[in-house]
């Protein structure tokens, strides 16, 4: 066979393989877009575990009607222009791939209105056929509707689990994302039933409520507060007392500049800190937020953006180890505990 370029549709479907593993991955990408658009409130409606329908509605800045088609094209983004911009990217997205990928494996409708315009506009894509935008009633903000996920990629569809399992992943994801943004309201429903209502509030009360929603009230009662700053690295959150260890690594939430990540270096630093106080086979529980200059961390490591690379990994590792070691040692020494502000 001779060489030929792949059609846009096939190229997008291949890219979708990297980003869209299951319905929860769609919800992640759509919610990240809503947060990047400055939304104060997001509504997630799911039907059939997310396979039949995922609808995310936000009150963010919206998309200009002339850009609706571009929003769905691959490598089109409003978030960066130059590769150098990656060094200080503050948005959760930047690859300009998610909507194109999702649209290539579902029936997608994008409706949006910006503040300046009197009405909203809607564009529909099915697999790859895109109809021109048409006027549609919509308040300021954006609604993305994704129906029949993987309808045209049966191989992917086969990997989906039960409706209950897929929805479980979605719920877990929304709780996770909501942890980092107590200033944003998140509502989630499944098959018309309200499952989560996380109202926005400033201050520690809402933050505690969301930690309890994600990790359970017991975690909060057995958690030691962490708030440490050194050399431009800032860590806050909670680590559970060793007595609250888990048989699985299921309550481990780590955010870097508001982005949830799974990182080997972080995992290692935490394990080291718990080494003397945790028996083999047990896993610590924690919710931690690391903040640092975006220039010190590379977020462009993997399409799902679950991984990061620290430019000075060694110092980040040592900082984390020391901060957590001290928190745990303080607890053992029976120092009076205090709640983080």
CB 106, CB 151: distance < 8 Å: yes
* Piece of 17-25, 91-99, 217-225, 234-242 that binds Mg ion (CB under 5 A): 91-99
Provide the token pair at 330: 């303080």
CB contact set of 272 (below 8 Å; sequence gap of 6+):
321, 325
Selected from 99, 178, 235, 256, the binder of ligand ADP by CB under 6 A is 99
Q: Give the x/- contact pattern for ligand ADP in 12-41, rule: CB under 6 A.
A: -----------------x---xx--x----
Q: Which residue's CB atom is positioned nearest to ligand ADP?
A: 93
109 binds ligand ADP (CB under 6 A): no
Q: Number of residues interacting with Mg ion: please give it, by CB under 5 A.
A: 3
Neighbours of 281 (CB within 10 A): 7
Task: From 30-38, 124-132, 179-187, 257-265, give the range in contact with Mg ion by CB under 5 A.
Answer: 30-38
Q: What is the DSSP string of 295-330?
A: GGEE-TTSTT----EETTHHHHHHHHHHHHHHHHHH
Is 54 a binding residue for Mg ion by CB under 5 A? The answer is no
**Cα–Cα distances in angstroms (integers) from residue 137 to residues 30, 72, 114, 116, 120, in the given order:** 20, 20, 12, 14, 5
Nearest to ligand ADP of 71, 290 (CB atom): 71
Helices 264-274, 313-332: inter-axial angle, 10-degree rounding: 30
Contact between residue 54 and residue 37 where contact means Cβ atoms under 8 Å apart: no
> With binding defined as CB under 5 A, does residue 60 bind Mg ion?
no
Whole-angstrom distance, CA of residue 301 vs CA of residue 308: 6
Pick from 229, 208, 251: nearest CA to 319: 229
Binding-site size for ligand ADP (CB under 6 A) equals 22
For ligand ADP, the binding residues in 219-258 under the rule CB under 6 A are: none
- Per the document, the length of the chain is 341
Is residue 290 a contact residue for Mg ion (CB under 5 A)? no
Closest CA to 225 of 333, 332, 334, 330: 330
Q: In angstroms, how far is the first alpha carbon of the chain from the final one?
A: 65
Chain residues 97-116 in contact with Mg ion, contact rule CB under 5 A: 98
Q: Which stretch binds Mg ion (CB under 5 A): 29-37, 132-140, 174-182, 288-296?
A: 29-37
- Decide: is 190 part of the binding site for ligand ADP (CB under 6 A): no
User: What part of residues 138-167 is at the interface with ligand ADP (CB under 6 A)?
Assistant: 142
Is residue 89 near ligand ADP by the rule CB under 6 A?
no
**Contact range with Mg ion by CB under 5 A, out of 27-35, 167-175, 201-209, 230-238:** 27-35
- The partner in contact with residue 111, picked from ligand ADP, Mg ion, none with C-beta cut-offs of 5 to 8 angstroms by kind, is none
From the list 5-13, 70-78, 165-173, 213-221, the region that binds ligand ADP by CB under 6 A is: 70-78
3 state DSSP class of 194: strand
13/33 with CB nearer Mg ion: 33
**Contact positions toward Mg ion, by CB under 5 A?**
33, 93, 98
**Contact positions toward ligand ADP, by CB under 6 A?**
29, 33-34, 37, 58, 60-63, 71, 77-79, 93-100, 142
């Amino acid at each position: 066979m001779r060489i030929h370029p792949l059609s846009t549709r096939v190229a997008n479907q291949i890219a979708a393989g990297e980003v869209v593993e299951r319905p929860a991955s769609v919800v992640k990408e759509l919610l990240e877009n809503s947060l990047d658009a400055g939304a104060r409130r997001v509504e997630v409606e799911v039907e059939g575990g997310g396979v039949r329908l995922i609808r995310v509605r936000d009150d963010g800045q919206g998309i200009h009607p002339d850009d609706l088609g571009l929003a769905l094209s691959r490598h089109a983004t409003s978030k960066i222009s130059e590769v150098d911009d990656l060094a200080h990217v503050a948005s959760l997205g930047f690859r300009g791939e998610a909507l194109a990928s999702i649209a290539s494996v579902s029936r997608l409708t994008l409706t949006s209105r910006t503040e300046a315009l009197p009405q909203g506009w809607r564009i529909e894509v099915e697999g790859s056929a895109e109809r021109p935008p048409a006027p549609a009633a919509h308040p300021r903000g954006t609604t993305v509707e994704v129906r029949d996920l993987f309808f045209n990629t049966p191989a992917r569809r086969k990997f989906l689990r039960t409706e209950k399992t897929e929805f479980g992943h979605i719920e877990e994801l929304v709780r996770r994302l909501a942890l980092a943004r107590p200033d944003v309201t998140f509502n989630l429903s499944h098959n018309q039933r309200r499952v989560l209502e996380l109202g926005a509030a400033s201050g520690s009360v809402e933050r505690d409520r969301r930690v309890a929603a994600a990790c359970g009230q017991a975690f909060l009662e057995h958690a030691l507060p962490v708030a440490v700053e050194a050399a431009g690295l800032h860590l806050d959150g909670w680590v559970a007392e060793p007595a609250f260890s888990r048989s699985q690594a299921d309550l481990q939430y780590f955010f870097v500049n508001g982005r949830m990540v799974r990182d080997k270096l972080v995992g290692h630093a935490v394990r080291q800190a718990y080494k003397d106080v945790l028996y083999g086979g047990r896993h610590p529980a924690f919710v931690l937020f690391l903040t640092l200059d975006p220039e010190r961390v590379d977020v462009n490591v993997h399409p799902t953006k679950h991984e990061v690379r620290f430019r000075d990994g060694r110092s980040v590792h040592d900082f984390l180890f020391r901060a957590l070691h001290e928190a745990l040692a303080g607890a053992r020494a029976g120092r009076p505990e205090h709640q983080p502000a």
